[in-house]
Structure 1
Amino acid sequence: MGALPIPPTPPGTDLTGKTAIVTGGNAGLGLEAARQYLTLKAARVIIAVRSPAKGKEAIAELKADPTVQKLNPNAAIEAFPLDLDDFQSGVDFVRKVKSEVPELDILLNNGGTNILKYHKSASGHERVMQGLPLSARILVTRTLLIRETAVNVYTHFLISLGLLPLLISTAERRGAPTHLSFVGSSMQSSHSLTKKPLTPNGSFLEHFDDQKTYDAMTRYQDSKFMVNVLVRGLAKVVGEENPKVIVNHMCPGLVYTGFDKNLPLWLKPLMYIYRRVSARHVSEGARTLIHATAAEGSESHGKFLSNNIIRSGEVPFLDEAAGKAFTEKAWKELVAECSKFEPGLSRYA
């Protein structure tokens, strides 16, 4: 019943002199990924967080880590403000990075959330699809309660487009590709569009914003599905042959990060047993993120990884005519939406 073991990061994986950004990097998988980047000798690691206080706490924890102190004591560790609930915060984040970060080797889109009630974001969209700056929430399906990191879509997309030129220029300077990665999920195959399809002339944003089409049991899956859609689109923009930026997404699996203390008392024993049998330790789950962003090459460009293995056909809908039409519509519509906040992004339409 347990998850497949994730092997150690390949020997020789070396981030000396490189810069990594991790959204949602103050807790859980994001914090552990930041720690592992540092143990691989990254010169600069920036965690994107909503709370300055939590950012300071995370920086202190990373600096105090014995392995980091031993292997990379002089690394620069910083926290930049980012509220994934708000497009404008994403714009401000991109501008800060561009002004203060001359080179960017890894952008790991990790932060996000899942909530089980309909809410709108600060930017006016359904909140799970927009993005809320928490590393995790409880996900309830009809058969199982599990926990995964939810990377929500819209603000991360704006950030990715905004920082793409920096990733490209860094790759050109290094003479080697950089990485743009999203934490995804195998649950993307259970998205709602096959049961609640988009109308032929409908807006995908309006579809997911409509409370009538909202389903708490599938919205998390929908957000992961949209990550796949946008990873494919970003891969095409970068170029599919010898890409300067490797764009991919990965599933870390079920990871135990200690959040069960907030569960109802009756559920804690059940989840404790389930996690002891099935969940990965956070260090192991984070290695899937490190593998995709620091060890995988261009063979993973535009692809999805599970257990560090490239998977194909994970969402059959996307390879069908209806899925391809949806992908094209979603890309154009979301670029147009992001361009309202950062007009320069319109060139990607």
Structure 2
Amino acid sequence: MAMFNLPAGFLSSFLKSQLFTTLPVPSTPFTGQTILITGANVGLGLEAARHFARLDAKKIIIGCRSLSKGLAAKASILASTKRTEEDLVIEVWEVDLTSFESVTAFCKRAGELERLDVVVENAGIAVPTFELVEGYESTVAVNVISTFLMALLLVPKLRESGTKYDVVPRLTIVASDAHEQATFKEQNAKHIFEALSTGGQKEQPDKYNTSKLLEILTIRCLAPALSTSTKRKIILNTLTPGFCHSALMRHARFPLNIAAYIGKLILARSTEVGSRTLVAAASAGEESHGCYMADCKVRQPSAWVRSEKGAETQKRVYGELMEILEGIQPGITGNI
């Protein structure tokens, strides 16, 4: 099954990370900063938001589909960090990543903020069956197209804030070590995104893994493009939180749901420990720009990503994705 397509060395590296690596508690302050984090109503995003609150952020925007869950998360953060609404503003904004229009409206609203220092794109889906959203397979639409639509729409605001407040803005996209397991059969197709959305297969064990691989490939092209710009510097990076207790696999089917349940009992990090990786990436320095992080440190992505075939596919993926984004929002690539 594609879900268990383990490359050489993956298992030993995975077990070392999960069982024998202690992740540092985040300590870099975010004093006075505004942090926007998607998918922060539950799981890793919520715990990361809690860390940002503890580390003196001034404003946190929780982007999520459910306002009621977002408001519950806000109450939980304020209660646990002992901060008050007077010294920490937490706003809950609705955004639906299955709708490009919703993502665009969300980013327009963010453009009206006084400042925006850190964006953590943590929202994503892992669904076992094929479904079309905005004309694309849902996992690819949400995890890749909407994710980079949001990233590019927020770049101007991040740059503006960096200039105005003399800070280096951060844009962090949560990927996964699952990218190492992607079989990515569509890599040889004439049009990769089209092939990803026309498989017609009902079961799709590889789509989540592939979506995370596509995120990493895109970042490896986008980061140098952001750097060559004469505009204000932004640090763009990506990470794997590792295998954690989270709601991500709630749609998993047999036998994966059983394997995930047993695996979590034995191997999974707590949600709080996993969230440390998000905060580490959001506070990482220039050395992390364009890079993949694991266990709160810069690490190489899969051997395939670094191969000649990976580099060639990376250019194709990036080119196709930029074309798709231009189709959704003409002129968006000018934000780079």
TM-score calculated relative to the size of structure 2: 0.85
- Greater shift in the superposed pair: 223-232 or 272-281: 272-281
Match of 1:322 in 2: 309
2:73 to 58, 61, 66: 58
* Bigger shift: residues 269-278 or 155-164: 269-278
After TM superposition, list the pairs within 5 Å mapping 1:286-305 onto structure 2: 286-294=275-283, 296-305=284-293
Count of aligned pairs: 318
Q: Deviations over 1:151-183 (max 9, x none)?
A: x11101001001111111222223331110111
Q: Partner of 1:239: helix, strand, or coil?
A: helix
Runs of 5+ consecutive residues of structure 1 not aligned to the other structure: 132-151
Q: Structure 1: how far apart are the matches of 2:203 and 2:309?
A: 21
Structure 2: stretches of 5+ with no match in the other structure: 1-14
Match of 1:244 in 2: 233
Q: Which residue of 2 aligns with 1:76?
A: 89
Q: Matched residues in 1 for 2:316 and 2:77: separation?
A: 42
CA contact (8 A) 2:53 2:88 kept: yes
Written as runs of structure 1 = structure 2, the 5 A alignment for 1:218-297 is 218-239=206-227, 244-257=233-246, 274-294=263-283, 296-297=284-285
Deviations 1:182-212 (A, max 9, x none): 111112122223x44323xx22210111125
2:141 to 130, 149, 160: 130
Misfit runs of 4+, over 6 Å? 240-243, 258-270
**1:95 Cα shift?**
0.7
Q: Are the aligned partners of 1:90 and 1:159 in contact in 2 as well (CA < 8 Å)? A: yes
Within 1, Cα distance between the matches of 2:178 and 2:214?
12
C-alpha contact 1:168 1:245 (8 A) present in aligned 2 = yes
Question: Is 1:183 aligned to 2:196, yes or no?
Answer: no
CA contact (8 A) 2:223 2:289 kept: yes
2:188 matches 1:198:
yes
SS of the residue 1:280 aligns to: coil
Q: Could you say which residue in structure 1 is the equivalent of 2:323? A: 336
Tell me, in whole angstroms, the C-alpha distance in 1 between the residues paired with 2:77 and 2:299: 33
- C-alpha distance in structure 2 between counterparts of 1:22 and 1:170, whole Å: 17
- 2:296 equivalent in structure 1: 308
Q: Say if 1:214 and 1:161 are closer, same or farther in 2 by CA, change over 3 A.
A: farther
CA–CA distance in 1 between the matches of 2:334 and 2:254? Answer: 52
Q: Does 1:105 align with 2:117?
A: yes
Q: CA deviation at 1:271?
A: 5.7
**Distance apart, 1:280 and its partner CA:** 0.9
Matched letter for residue 163 of structure 1: L
Fraction of identical pairs, as percent? 27
Q: Which residue of 2 aligns with 1:134?
A: none
Aligned AA (2:96):
D
User: What is the RMSD computed on CA atoms of the aligned residues?
Assistant: 2.8
Alignment-mate amino acid for residue 281 of structure 2 = A
Instruction: Give the counterpart letter for 1:22 in structure 2.
Output: I
- Do the aligned partners of 1:185 and 1:253 also contact (CA within 8 Å) in 2? yes
Tell me which amino acid in the other structure corresponds to 2:51.
Q
**Aligned partner letter, 2:23:** I
Where does residue 3 of structure 2 map in the other structure? none
- CA offset at residue 235 of structure 1? 0.6
Residue 21 of structure 1: aligned partner: 36
Give the counterpart letter for 1:112 in structure 2.
Answer: G
Shift of the 263–159 alpha-carbon distance from structure 1 to 2, 3 Å rule, reads closer
Aligned to 1:146: none
Aligned amino acid, residue 334 of structure 2 = R
Q: Which residue of 2 aligns with 1:140?
A: none
Q: Which moved more, 1:223-232 or 1:55-64?
A: 55-64
Query: How many Å separate the matches in 2 of 1:259 and 1:172?
Result: 36
Higher helix share: 2
1:51 maps to a residue whose letter is S
Contact map agreement 1:237 1:348 (CA 8 A) in 2: no
What is the aligned partner in structure 1 of residue 26 from structure 2? 9
SS of residue matched to 2:107: helix
Counterparts of 2:124 and 2:254 in 1: how far apart (Å)? 26
